[in-house]
Amino acid sequence: MQEHKAGGAHASIDDERNQNILIYINGELVPRDQAKVSVYDSGFMLGDGVWEGLRLHKGKFSFIDDHLDRLFAGAKALDMDIGK
């Protein structure tokens, strides 16, 4: 692992386990180096957003219904349409 600052205010440490992760953005899973957000995106401009961290244990999501309930409730509170 290597510590670096990538032009931001916070230092970070690379973790090789994250090199091949996929990012879900605009309805599509893409490699992390291809994940792009427009500078006009409201999450970028205004900081609005909603997310849930999911845990996978022995190939199964833990508490998935609870996570999805919170995700949709958070999106509704921000008047975001994230589909179903």
Residues 41 and 60 in one domain: no
**Residue 1 in domain:** no
Question: How confident is the model over 15-72, as pLDDT tens digits?
Answer: 888 888 898 888 889 998 999 989 998 888 988 889 888 888 888 999 999 999 999 9
Residues 42 and 69 in one domain: no
In the numeric block, the tokens 């692992």 are attached to: 1
- pTM beyond 0.85: no
* Cβ(67)–Cβ(61) below 8 Å: yes
**Residue 14 in domain:** no
**Residue-range definition of the domain harbouring residue 62:** 51-84
Domain count, the chain: 2
Residues 35 and 63 in one domain: no
Beta bridge partner(s), residue 56: 61
- Kindly write down the DSSP assignment for every residue of 3-58, as one continuous string: EE--SSSS-EE--GGGTT-EEEETTEEEEGGG----TT-HHHHH---------EET
Residues 66 and 77 in one domain: yes
**Residue 3 in domain:** no
Rounded CA separation 68/73 (Å): 8
